[in-house]
Amino acid sequence: MARQSISFTKPNDDWLKEQVDSQEYTSKSELINDLVRQARKQQAEIDWIRTKLDDAEQSGFTSESKQEILAQAKSSLK
């Protein structure tokens, strides 16, 4: 695992300490890794939405109903 040295503002460091002290996480490193995983997942979802919006703009109009479009979107998330 790569080691990094990073600095935090006092409010952010205090918050990190609170999370570890409350035993939500065993270390600041574990917490930071979890936050990075969450941010990566969120970015992947944003990228997926952007791709779908770009595809929709390029495809033009559709005769499908809102329900059909929603069902297709939900099935592609699985």
Cα torsion angle, 58, 61, 67, 71, sign: negative
> How distant, in Å, are the alpha carbons of 29, 31, 55, 65, 71 from that of 39?
15, 12, 24, 33, 27
- What's the pLDDT at 78? 63
User: Cβ atoms within 10 A of the Cβ of 74, count?
Assistant: 9
Q: What is the pLDDT of residues 13-50, one digit of tens each?
A: 999 999 999 999 999 999 999 999 999 999 999 999 99
| H or E segment to which residue 51 belongs | helix 28-59
Record the pTM. 0.67
More confident site: 12 or 63 = 12
- What's the pLDDT at 62? 82
